[in-house]
Amino acid sequence: AAKLGAGVFAYSALSAFGDGVGHLLSPAKAAESVPELRTDNLKAVAVYGDDQMNDSRLALMTLRAAVESGASVLNYAEVTGLRFTNGRVTGAELRDQRSGDEFGVDARLVLNATGPWVDHLRKLEDPNAAPSIRLSKGAHLVLKRTAPWKAALATPIDKYRITFALPWEDMLLLGTTDEEYEGDPGDVGVTEKDTAQILDEAALSVRDEQLSRDLITYAYAGLRVLPGGPGDTSKAKRETVVTEGRGGMLSVAGGKWTTFRHIGRTVLKKLETLPGHPLGEGIEPVSELPKKMPLPGIANPRAVAHRLLIDHPADGPRMAADTARHLSTHYGSLAFDIARLANENPELAERIHPDAPEIWAQVVYARDNEWAETADDVLRRRTTLTIRGLATEDIRHQVEDLLHAE
């Protein structure tokens, strides 16, 4: 118990106690925040503050920021080859996966930031390139909650691994697994073995009634990009791997969301040293870029939700509280753009599904502002309907119709 208490206190200290002070508490007190907590033979519990996010939304806001800074963004553009000039990589051959159109892009420098596919691109540059990474699969389950949770649960499995049960998007998120993966990254998925492992490990600290398979609404798996090397992937360091290829292409892989801006600055500094970098042509060096740059939509979600609730047409209905909260936490101040669509067209103010907070205006917004092309783009990557188990065939067809409406 003392070791656990010291650990969470040190964790809090690393964030300058911005999320409070980590400390021990009694199992009975812990059960007030986690109603399905197993307290039999429970020896020690500690609490500490942390943060969570919706990674799809953060990725989209990062893309929005890039576009506002002058980037061109293409969705569903597959790299089929690289262009070379005097042995150096100077562009890429692309194919539109939706239309089949093929085209190319010329560039002074090419950065390969393709995650699990990073070595595939490196082999397009140099067929003899040695592997620079290895992949670790992590599977997760999303379940309906049988009771409200006020805290997340982290349970040690062994010396290296922890299993999590997190209240997330009004659901319960369980995971994760950690095993080496050697197949096609596009084929990764959740197996029956993964599901059984996640439920078994969660059962160490969560009561059986919360772990019924009938409560599972969604299962997904992702790939961690780890430095190449021997040993168990669960023991491997979550480091960023940066390599320069024979043709001058810079490849970057690994790292975590918590350090993605630091990784970006590190990579930009390396790009500045390569031949072809347009420094001095109106391009600022990384050292002169601002250290902090808010992403689009950054705002206090409570203030945004309040505005959404009080600002509505005089002859129109007031927005539901759960929808206002959902929009404010997922879009920030950009939620006002969605509310405007709903106010102008009452049909877009209606819920997509009666059991979810999303409204149809979000589909139009995803189509016009967030590069959504397919029903999955909207239902799985830009809203939470799929993880809630509410993406019915009827809803999918209606979303497709709206995506392709003039």
- Residue 398 burial by Cβ neighbours in a 10 Å radius (0-12, 13-18, 19+): middle
**What's the confidence (pLDDT) of residue 30?**
94
**Are the C-beta atoms of residues 204 and 197 closer than 8 Å to each other?**
no
**Are the C-beta atoms of residues 335 and 311 closer than 8 Å to each other?**
no
CA distance 125 to 127: 7
Q: Where are the alpha helices (DSSP H) in 83-135?
A: 118-125
**What's the confidence (pLDDT) of residue 310?**
92
**What's the confidence (pLDDT) of residue 109?**
94
Is residue 244 helix, strand or coil? strand
> How many Å from the N-terminal Cα to the C-terminal Cα in the chain?
62
Summarize the chain as % helix, strand, coil (round to 5).
40, 20, 40
**What's the confidence (pLDDT) of residue 235?**
65
**What's the confidence (pLDDT) of residue 245?**
95
CA distance 177 to 140: 7
Q: What's the half-sphere exposure (Cβ side, CA atoms, 13 Å) at 12?
A: 18
**What's the confidence (pLDDT) of residue 320?**
96
Give 203's contacts (C-beta < 8 A, 6+ positions apart). Answer: 211
Residue with token string 């539109």? 96
**What's the confidence (pLDDT) of residue 323?**
98
**What's the confidence (pLDDT) of residue 231?**
67
**Are the C-beta atoms of residues 389 and 380 closer than 8 Å to each other?**
no
**What's the confidence (pLDDT) of residue 283?**
77
Instruction: Name the packing angle between helices 301-310 and 335-344 (round to 10°).
Output: 10
Domains and their CATH numbers in the chain: 56-132+235-288 (3.50.50.60), 301-403 (no CATH)
Give 91's contacts (C-beta < 8 A, 6+ positions apart). Answer: 82, 83, 104, 105, 106, 107, 110
Q: What's the half-sphere exposure (Cβ side, CA atoms, 13 Å) at 136?
A: 22
Q: What's the half-sphere exposure (Cβ side, CA atoms, 13 Å) at 365?
A: 24
**What's the confidence (pLDDT) of residue 18?**
87
User: Element (H or E) spanning 46, and its range?
Assistant: strand 45-47
**What's the confidence (pLDDT) of residue 230?**
65
Look up residue 320 and give its DSSP letter.
P
- Residue 252 burial by Cβ neighbours in a 10 Å radius (0-12, 13-18, 19+): buried
Tens-digit pLDDT string for the chain (406 aa)? 899 899 999 989 998 888 889 999 999 999 999 999 999 989 889 999 988 899 999 999 999 999 999 999 999 999 999 999 999 999 999 999 999 999 999 999 999 999 999 999 999 999 999 999 999 999 999 999 999 999 999 999 988 889 999 999 999 999 999 999 999 999 999 999 999 999 999 999 999 999 999 999 999 999 999 988 666 776 667 789 899 999 999 999 998 898 999 999 999 999 999 888 887 777 788 888 888 889 999 999 999 999 999 987 777 789 999 999 999 999 999 999 999 999 999 999 999 999 999 999 999 999 999 999 999 999 999 999 999 999 999 999 999 999 998 6
